[in-house]
Amino acid sequence: MDAASIHQRLAAQFGERITAFQAEALQPWAVVAPEVIAEVAAFCKSDPDLGFDNLMCLSAVDYPKETPPRLELVYHLWSYAHTHGFVLKVHLPRESPSVRTVENVWGVANWHEREAYDLFGITFTGHSDLRRILLPDDWIGYPLRKDWVDPDFYNGLHVKPTPQMAERSMAGEKLGVGPFDHTPPNRHVED
Amino acid sequence: MSSGFGWRVDDLDTDEMILNMGPQHPSTHGVLRLELRTDGEVVRAARPHIGYLHRCFEKHAENVDYPGVIPYTDRMDYVASMGNSLGYALAVEKLLGIEVSPYVGAIRVIMAELQRIASHCVAVGTYGMDIGAFTPFLHLLRDREKILDLFEWTCGARLLYNYNWVGGVSHDLPEGFVKACRAFLREYDAITIPELMDLLIGNKIFVKRTAGVGVLPVPLAISYDLTGPNLRGSGLARDLRKDAPYCGYERYQFDVPVGTGQFGPKGSCFDRNWVRSIEMAECSKIIHQALDFLEKTEKTDVHEKVPKRVKPAKGEVYARSEAPRGQLGYYIVADGTGVNPYRVKVKSPCFTAMSVFHVLSRGMYIADIIALIGSLDVVLGEIDR
């Protein structure tokens, strides 16, 4: 099936809740209302004509400058049976974004959703094991958001030295915190 | 019953035990920590902990320009760097609408397939070592070394190449490359492949150790998005080089090996490893044909299509290619204003292969866990990115 007929099939089933369709894109996509994404995903997999048995990729993207500002979840679907693909998107608010999980439909979504939670702070309701996956458990904040600022300290260690600090430390001065307390072991000493 | 050492066997605790395997365990192929809930020798549940090698690839990619991302892609799957940069280059080219010349396409195919052989050499060799066979590893690394020499001769680097550029490749093949590559392949076909089959694949102990362990049915593989040799080991012949050819793969004749379940259930550890071994022979076939094509085709400048400034219009693309470990996907969003990508997301085949681990490992023996990890052929650099 081509993208237009896939969209028609989805629109016939879900009507208003398929809120937009972009046909001119390189890979056409449809925007789905967040509250029905689990149903749409289940339908995509179970419908014999669509047959999307494979979730190729699940990505999150941050758009703080759009009006309204939003986080976007992008589901790249693929059907091994019909060898066609389609893209679903879900728009979420940047403040406390939450959406239902699709891990019961495609098992691989489990880890992809954990990654989106870890790096973007999107919570997936009904997820079996929503923990940070790539970053340490005690990490604060969501680094792939566009407004992310690197922290100065991590667990009491000064992790963002300024060039001046590095210079002073190399000159032997004790700066009081973190790794710069120690003289680098392999430091070349002139005298 | 008294054991004579002041304690009684009856007093032993028979509860379940949490066993941490890794992150420094050599057979976890990098820095992977497995949390195993064990009941004696049997694993009741397993939880992989990843992220020890996380280097913020996606964040880095947003802060450099499009060509600047390529060295970072090399560092994801450091055992098969050519495949990573090729996937990225193809994705950006799709976004820009660039089509490279058949000559450059053939060079890319040769490099990608040599890399596939080198990568499978490591995969199959270390797998043998995990199971307890040390010799095949040495024999295979000998051949990988020769491939790395060819790479070094071409682009100066042995591991991280920055070779596949957007719109071309960094260096043309050096004079005499075709001859040297043929000489290597002759030796490889005549010696390494039969050697590998004799030493490892046909080895009774190896077969008994792997056939029937870690059986992965096709529906589970598709649901968890396993691709490449892991999927083909379960018996489904899906290969992007055949299904959606890029770089002129449609020109070359080769077979897609699938697991047959000759020594046990289909989709076992043996089948996945067997697919890799047979694929090593198929790669050689492709390279022979690509070298023939290279000699016949008109030579073009390898930098001919390289754009001075990569600045795609607003848009997005998801492009996949068949890396040695499976389908490597890049989702790239361009906002049309800057020269940096707005967002790069990598779907790494090892990431998805690792995500099925907790399902497969349930009810296995601890010793078989080692066989399972090796057969999924994960590289932690790519899982953690």
- From chain A, the residues in CB contact with B94 under 8 A are 26
The whole-angstrom distance between A106's CA and the closest CA on chain B is 5
The whole-angstrom distance between A189's CA and the closest CA on chain B is 32
Residue B95 lies in a domain: yes
pLDDT of A184 over the 50 cut = no
State the pLDDT at residue B150.
92
Residue B25 lies in a domain: no
pLDDT of A181 over the 50 cut = no
Q: How confident is the model at residue A174 (pLDDT cuts 50, 70, 90)?
A: low
* B residues 366..385 contacting A (CB < 8 A): 384-385
- From chain A, the residues in CB contact with B329 under 8 A are 56-57, 76
Domain hosting B359: range is 47-384
Structure confidence by residue, pLDDT tens digits, A55-101: 999 999 999 888 889 999 999 999 988 888 899 999 999 888 999 99
Query: Please, where in chain A does CATH 3.30.460.80 lie?
Result: 3-143
Q: How confident is the model at residue A187 (pLDDT cuts 50, 70, 90)?
A: very low
State the pLDDT at residue A141.
86
Q: How confident is the model at residue A175 (pLDDT cuts 50, 70, 90)?
A: low
The larger pLDDT score, comparing residue A168 to residue B170, is at B170
The whole-angstrom distance between B169's CA and the closest CA on chain A is 25
Nearest alpha-carbon partner for B137 in B195, B211, B208, B75: B195
Hey, CA dihedral for A115, A119, A122, A127, is it positive or negative? Answer: positive
- B201: helix, coil or strand? helix
Residue B24 lies in a domain: no
Q: How confident is the model at residue A180 (pLDDT cuts 50, 70, 90)?
A: very low
Which of B355, B357, B380 is the best substitution to test chain A (most A C-beta atoms within 10 A)?
A: B355
State the pLDDT at residue B196.
87
pLDDT over 90 for what percent of chain A?
Answer: 27
pLDDT of A110 over the 80 cut = yes
Residue B10 lies in a domain: no
**B331/A contact by beta carbon, under 8 A:** yes
The whole-angstrom distance between A190's CA and the closest CA on chain B is 35
pLDDT of A41 over the 70 cut = yes
**B52/A contact by beta carbon, under 8 A:** no
State the pLDDT at residue A129.
87
State the pLDDT at residue B319.
92
Structure token pair of residue B102: 């058949």
**For A3-143, which CATH class?**
alpha beta
What average pLDDT does range A110-127 have in this prediction?
91
- From chain B, the residues in CB contact with A27 under 8 A are 316-318
Q: Do B58 and A144 make contact, defined as CB atoms within 8 angstroms?
A: yes
Residue B282: CB atoms within 10 Å: 21
Cβ within 8 Å of residue B159, ≥6 positions away: B78, B81, B148
Residue B191 lies in a domain: yes
Which of B62, B318, B358 is the best substitution to test chain A (most A C-beta atoms within 10 A)?
A: B318
Q: Do A76 and B58 make contact, defined as CB atoms within 8 angstroms?
A: no
User: At B232, which CATH number?
Assistant: 1.10.645.10
Nearest chain A residue to B314 by CA distance is A25
> Which among A54, A119, A132 has CB closest to B222?
A54
- From chain A, the residues in CB contact with B382 under 8 A are none
Structure token pair of residue B302: 């390898």
Q: Do A26 and B316 make contact, defined as CB atoms within 8 angstroms?
A: yes
Which parts of chain B are beta strand (E)?
Answer: 17-21, 33-39, 42-49, 164-165, 168-169, 315-323, 326-334, 343-347
Give the torsion through C-alpha atoms of A98, A102, A107, A112, to 10 deg. -40
User: Average pLDDT for consecutive 10-residue bins of chain B (385 residues)?
Assistant: 67 81 75 88 89 89 90 90 92 90 92 93 90 88 92 90 90 90 91 86 87 89 91 90 88 90 87 91 92 89 85 89 91 88 92 91 88 88 87
Number of domains observed in the structure of chain B: 1
* B residues 278..307 contacting A (CB < 8 A): none
Nearest chain B residue to A45 by CA distance is B223
pLDDT of A172 over the 80 cut = no
Q: What is the mean pLDDT of chain A?
A: 83
Residue B35 lies in a domain: no
- From chain B, the residues in CB contact with A135 under 8 A are 51, 54
Convert A59-85 to b/e letters by CB count within 10 Å (16 or more is b). Answer: bbbbbeeeeeebbbbbbbbbbeeeebb
Q: How confident is the model at residue A14 (pLDDT cuts 50, 70, 90)?
A: confident
Q: Do B345 and A59 make contact, defined as CB atoms within 8 angstroms?
A: yes
Which of A45, A56, A147 is the best substitution to test chain B (most B C-beta atoms within 10 A)?
A: A56
Residue B371 lies in a domain: yes
Nearest chain B residue to A61 by CA distance is B343
* B residues 123..182 contacting A (CB < 8 A): none
**B55/A contact by beta carbon, under 8 A:** no
The whole-angstrom distance between B343's CA and the closest CA on chain A is 7
Residue B40 lies in a domain: no
